[in-house]
Amino acid sequence: MRIGAVVNPVAGMGGRVGLKGTDGKVAEARALGADPRAPDRARRTFEAIADAGADVELLAWGEPMGEAEARAAGLDPTVLGRPEDGETTAEDTVRAVEAFVEAGVDLVLFVGGDGTAADVAEAVGTDVPILGAPAGVKVYSSVFAVSPEDAAAVATTFERAERREVMDIDEDEYREGEVRPELRAVARVPVADDVQSSKQLGGGTVEALAAGVADDVRASPEKTYVLGPGSTVGAVKEELGFEGSPIGVDIWRDGEVVALDAAESEILDALGPAGENVVVVSPIGGQGFVFGRGNPQLSPAVIRRCDVEIVASRSKLDDVGELRVDTDDPELDEELRGWTRVRVGRFERRMMRIV
C-alpha cells in the first residue's frame, strides 16, 4: 500500500477561540492564543498507522505539512517536496496531492477540514481515492473518517472505494448564522463503517423538549449552564427568553446570560464549582456527533468540569442510529462511550449508545 499524506497545519485553529473556522482568520486565531490542532491529529493518525504494522510506503510533504509528525510516529516517509514559503496555502496542498498522484499512490490521506477536502479532491480527480483525518471545525463532507485512529485503520485495510460528496460552507456566512452547505466536488473514498456520512441539515418540532430543559434550568439557579450550538439547543435558549448565538456556545446562570458566543477560555472562566456545571448539547446534523463537530469550544477541559445533558428529537435519533464523540482526547472519548440517556421530550428520555 502506497499512501500520500498531507497535513493542513492551520486547519481547525479558530474553533477553540470561537472563530468557527480558520478561513481568512489564521492571524486572528493566533492573536487570540489558538494552538494548532492539525499537527496533533496528524501525529495520532501516523502513530496508528505505525502501530498497525501494515506494509505501507508513506509519501509525505515537508514541514509544516506532515513530515515531522510522521517521523515522530516512527515512520520513515519519502518527502516529495516542501512549501515554498513559511505560511502554507491551498496551492501547497494542491502541489502535494499532484505529486502524490504522479508517484502512483493508492490513497491520498489528508489531515484538515472541508476546505482542505475540496482542495484535495480538486487536485486528485476521481482516479485515486482520498480519505480525511478530521481536524477542521465543521467537517460536513462524507470523505472523513470518524477519528484520526479510524482514518489510519481505514487507510491500511480498505479494499474498495465509492463516490462520495465533498461539501463546504462559506465561513463568513456561518459566523452570521447562515449554514448552507454546497457541493464542492465528488471524490472516491474508501468504503468502511468508520467513514462518516454527509452532514445534512435537519429540523423538527422540539418545543416540548425545550420547555422541559428550561424548567430544569430555572429550578437550579445556582448551576452554570453551558448551552451548545444547533437548532435544538437554540430552542432551549428561546424558551429561556434570550436570542442565543445559533452556531456558538452561550452561558446561562441564575436567570441571566453570562456570555454569548463564548470561546473555550471564557467558558472555563465562567464555570462554577464541581457538580454545579451542566453542558447541554445536541447531535449536530445527521452524523450523530455530540462533541467534536461544530463545537470545539467545548474542549476536554470544559467537558471534564461539567455534567453532560444530551437533547435531541426522536426523529434525529432515528436518523443517526448511534452517537459519536471526537474530543481530541482519546481517553475522554473512551470515558464518554457507552449507553447514555438522551432527553427527547418534556419528561421522556431514550437510551442511546455513544460509540
Given 190, 225, 251, the domain boundary residue is: 190
State the DSSP H helix or E strand holding residue 279, giving kind and residue range, or none if neither. strand 277-281
Amino acid found at 286: G
Tell me: pLDDT of 174 over 60: no
Q: Give per-residue pLDDT as tens, 124-170.
A: 988 899 999 999 766 778 899 989 999 999 999 999 999 887 877 65
Which residue range(s) make up the domain with 338? Answer: 207-354
Q: Taking residues 5-20, what's their average pLDDT?
A: 71
What total of structural domains would you count in the chain?
A: 2
**308: how many CB neighbours lie within 10 A of its CB?**
17
Residues 62 and 12 in one domain: yes
**pLDDT confidence of residue 40:** 93
286 has a pLDDT exceeding 70: no
Residue ending a domain, among 141, 159, 190, is: 190
Query: Pick from 101, 148, 138, 218: which is nearest to 7 by CA?
Result: 148
Does the pLDDT at position 173 exceed 80? no
Paired sense of beta strands 324-325 and 78-79, if any: unpaired
Residues 239 and 116 in one domain: no
User: Does 246 reside within a domain?
Assistant: yes
Give the SS3 label for residue 144: strand
Half-sphere exposure in the Cβ direction for 346 (13 Å, CA):
5
The span from the CA of 212 to the CA of 313, in Å, is 13
**Average pLDDT for residues 344-350, to the nearest whole number?**
84
Q: Are residues 134 and 213 in the same domain?
A: no
pLDDT at 180: 57
In a domain, 195, yes or no: no
| C-alpha torsion 154→156→157→161, nearest 10 | 60
pTM over 0.75: no
Cβ count within 10 A of residue 250:
27
In a domain, 98, yes or no: yes
Helix then strand then coil, in percent of the chain rounded to 5, is 30, 25, 45
Question: Do 256 and 152 belong to one domain?
Answer: no
| Amino acid at the residue 78 | T
Task: Give the distance, in angstroms, between the CA of residue 195 and the centroid of all CA atoms in the same chain.
Answer: 13
Q: What integer pLDDT is reported at residue 335 of this predicted model?
A: 96
The answer, yes or no, to whether the previous bond of 129 is cis (omega within 30 of 0) is no
Q: Outline where the chain has alpha helix (H).
A: 26-31, 38-52, 67-72, 90-102, 114-124, 148-157, 171-175, 207-219, 231-240, 264-270, 300-304, 314-320, 330-336
Same domain for 147 and 244, yes or no, is no
Task: For residues 86 and 9, state if they share a domain.
Answer: yes
Mean pLDDT across the stretch 17-35?
A: 55
Residue 238, Ramachandran bin (φ over 0: left; ψ between -120 and 50: alpha; else beta)? alpha
One domain, residues 240 and 350: yes
One-letter amino acid at 123 equals A
Q: Is residue 141 part of a domain?
A: yes
Whole-number Å distance between alpha carbons of 344 and 355: 19
Q: With respect to residue 202, please indicate whether it lies within any of the assigned structural domains.
A: no
pLDDT above 60 for 109: yes
Indicate whether 235 and 332 sit together in one domain. Answer: yes
Could you say which of 155, 190, 225 is where a domain stops? 190
Residue 198 maps to a domain: no
Stretch among 49-58, 148-157, 311-320 having the lowest mean pLDDT: 311-320
- Show the CA angle centred on residue 339, arms to residues 265 and 253, nearest 5°: 35
304 is a domain residue: yes
Give domain status of residue 163, yes or no: yes
Give the H/E segment covering residue 228.
none
Tell me the C-alpha distance between 83 and 224, whole Å: 46
| 353 alpha-carbon distance from chain centroid | 19
pLDDT band at 202 (very low <50, low <70, confident <90, very high): very low
38 and 173 assigned to the same domain: yes
Task: Tell whether 181 and 301 lie within a shared domain.
Answer: no
**What does the alpha-carbon distance between residue 258 and residue 353 come to, in Å, rounded to a whole number?**
32
Cell 492539525 belongs to residue: 38
* Same domain membership, residue 302 and residue 257: yes
- Whether residues 178 and 250 fall in one domain: no
HSE-up of residue 219 (Cα within 13 Å, Cβ side): 6
